[in-house]
Amino acid sequence: MPIPMNDDTTQASSTDETPPPTAAAPPTLSMLWGETPIITTELPASGGNGGGDKKTEKAPTHPAFVVNVGGLADSMDFLRTSSADMVTQYEALKTLVLQADAAHTVFGEQATYKDTIPRPRPNQNIDKRNPHEATFAQPDPEPLIKPDDGVRGAAEKFGPMMYPGMKNVLMECANAIELVGRYMVLMDRTGSYYAHADHQSAFPEPTGKSITD
């Protein structure tokens, strides 16, 4: 169908000296994949320096996992409150152990017993030749507190073994509580890393560049 043009348009077209644009050679396209590849765990073949057949390596498979950062934070708070209680009880136990180690009285090092000496009573045979014999009118003396040499001797052997042992057990308790604290720090770092990765998981802004040459 002819397009109507006026005389001015015809005149302008005939006098325009702008050269025509250079035509770009159209590219030739071909398919890289003849068939859709299968997603597999087989890694590309890798060979050594000696040549020979190259064998594919199978990548290890792992089950899917989900990171619940909120649950991780709740566990951290539970461990923090539990650890605070453990620290309080540990400090109280440490005070008792240090007091016992300083006093050295826990295992019977100062053990005593009561010794009562009764006075003679009427109708008892009394040696009149003993000027120190009590008379019938004298009451019984107060009980005598005497050192228990048997218990003290055993305690002197047992105590030197137990007091260092008590301190060593105290040290093990402190180490266990400290390990809980270190575990809490690792939990915090793990949660922070996953949270950071989650915030960074975004598609980048388009660059505006062509994907072809």
pLDDT at residue 51 greater than cutoff 60: no
* Residue 169 is assigned to a structural domain of this protein: yes
* Residue 175 is assigned to a structural domain of this protein: yes
Q: Quote the pLDDT of residue 116.
A: 75
Q: Quote the pLDDT of residue 38.
A: 67
Q: Quote the pLDDT of residue 194.
A: 85
Residue 86: partners with Cβ closer than 8 Å, 6 or more residues away? 177, 180
* Residue 16 is assigned to a structural domain of this protein: no
**What gap in Å lies between CA 109 and CA 152, rounded to an integer?**
5
Q: What is the mean pLDDT of residues 21-36?
A: 73
User: Given phi > 0 = left and psi -120 to 50 = alpha, else beta, which region is 22?
Assistant: beta
Q: Quote the pLDDT of residue 121.
A: 60
* Residue 60 is assigned to a structural domain of this protein: no
**What gap in Å lies between CA 120 and CA 140, rounded to an integer?**
9
Give pLDDT tens digits for 135-153: 555 666 677 888 889 898 9
**What gap in Å lies between CA 76 and CA 184, rounded to an integer?**
6
Provide the pLDDT confidence category of residue 91 given band limits of 50, 70 and 90. Answer: very high
* Residue 163 is assigned to a structural domain of this protein: yes
* Residue 109 is assigned to a structural domain of this protein: yes
Q: Quote the pLDDT of residue 72.
A: 87
Q: What percent of the chain stands above pLDDT 90? A: 15
Q: What is the mean pLDDT of residues 79-106?
A: 90
Q: Quote the pLDDT of residue 87.
A: 92
Q: How many domains would you assign to the chain?
A: 1
Q: What is the mean pLDDT of residues 185-190?
A: 88
Provide the pLDDT confidence category of residue 22 given band limits of 50, 70 and 90. Answer: confident
User: Given phi > 0 = left and psi -120 to 50 = alpha, else beta, which region is 52?
Assistant: left
Tell me the pLDDT of the chain averaged across its residues.
Answer: 76
* Residue 211 is assigned to a structural domain of this protein: no
Half-sphere exposure of 125 (CA within 13 A, CB side): 0
* Residue 49 is assigned to a structural domain of this protein: no
Q: Which domain holds residue 166?
A: 86-117+141-195
Provide the pLDDT confidence category of residue 90 given band limits of 50, 70 and 90. Answer: very high
